[in-house]
Amino acid sequence: MSQSSESQLEDVTVAVFLAQEGSEEVEFTEPKDVVTDAGATVDVVGHETGEGRTVNNDLEESESYEIEKSFDEVSADDYDAVIVPGGTVGADTLRTREAGVELLREHVEAGKPTAVICHGPWTLVEADVVDGKTLTSYHSLQTDVRNAGGEWVDEEVVVDDGLITSRNPDDLDAFCETILEEFGAASE
C-alpha cells in the first residue's frame, strides 16, 4: 500500500450500524476499529441514540457502546461507506427499523461500499438490494437471500459491485482486509 495504515481512509466517513441490543460484539468492534485505525471518521448509528448492548455468540451479554446518531438524523449523503454487523437479534431488530433500512437502501443504490457480515444481510434483504447480486452470510440466511433474488455462495468474503459480505466471526480477518481495500478504492 502506498499510504500508511493510519491515513489510508483519512477522507472517508463511515456509518457503523448498531442495534439497541443483540449486535455481535466482534462483528461490530473489529471492523469499526480497523476503519478508525486507518483514519476514517466513524459514526455509530442506530434506531435511537444512547446505549447499544452487544452480545457474544448470540447469547451471552457483552459490553455496551454509544450509539452517537439516530437513523432519523443522518442520510446516505453523510457517509462514504457503511458497516452492518450481525448477531441474530441485532440484525433482526435492525431490519425492522424503517429509517435504517431506507438509509441502507439509499446508500447501496448510490453505489457506495457497504460491508455486511453474518446475519446482517437480513437488512440488505429488507432493503430490497440483493436482486442480481452475489453474496454470502450466515448459512441460515441463504434461502432469504435467494428468495430476494440474490445468489448465495459459501465463501469467506464476497464483493459484488461495492457490496462486501462475510459469513461469520471466523471470517473477520478477510472481511476487515477487504473493507480496507474496498473503502480505500472508493475514496480515490
Q: What is the residue extent of each domain of the chain?
A: 13-184
89-to-44, 62, 64, 133 alpha-carbon distances in Å: 18, 14, 15, 25
CA distance 121 to 142: 10
Q: Smallest Cα–Cα separation from 13: which of 55, 43, 47? A: 43
Q: Is 118 a catalytic residue?
A: yes
Identified catalytic residue from 45, 118, 129, 172: 118
Quickly list H helices, 95-167.
98-109, 121-126, 142-147
Look at residue 160 and give its three-state secondary structure. strand
Whole-prediction pTM value? 0.96
For residues 25 and 55, the answer to whether their CB atoms sit within 8 Å is yes
pLDDT at 181 over 50: yes
Q: What one-character DSSP code corresponds to residue 130?
A: -
Residue 127 β-bridge partners: none
Pick from 141, 137, 140, 181: nearest CA to 157: 137
Q: What CATH number has the domain spanning 13-184?
A: 3.40.50.880
**pLDDT tens by residue, 70-110:** 999 999 999 999 999 999 999 999 999 999 999 999 999 99
